[in-house]
């Protein structure tokens, strides 16, 4: 359980960082409400993927270290 919490926190931080960087540098502030919603959807998908991917990588590293 402790490993899951650590990996979840790490994934959360990585996802938030990815979302911030994408919204700040890649997707400029749109002029319409729909454009804003689409930008948030794209950054949410990519930051969710990054968070999940990093959590899996950390889990695999922790399992390898136990062997």
Predicted confidence (pLDDT) per residue in 3-24, tens digit: 777 777 777 777 778 777 777 7
**5 and 29 in contact (C-beta within 8 Å)?**
no
**29 and 43 in contact (C-beta within 8 Å)?**
no
User: With 70 as the cut, is the pLDDT of residue 1 above it?
Assistant: no
Please state the domain extents for the chain. Answer: 2-66
Other CB atoms within 10 A of residue 53 CB: 13
* 19-39 per-position pLDDT tens digit: 777 777 876 777 788 877 887
**Which two three-digit tokens encode residue 22?**
């994408």
């Amino acid at each position: 359980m402790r490993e899951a919490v650590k990996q979840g926190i790490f994934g959360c931080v990585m996802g938030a960082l990815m979302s911030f960087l994408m919204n700040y540098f890649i997707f400029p502030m749109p002029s319409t409400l729909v454009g804003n919603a689409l930008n948030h959807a794209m950054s949410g998908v990519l930051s969710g993927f990054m968070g999940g991917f990093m959590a899996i990588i950390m889990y695999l590293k922790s399992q390898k270290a136990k062997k």
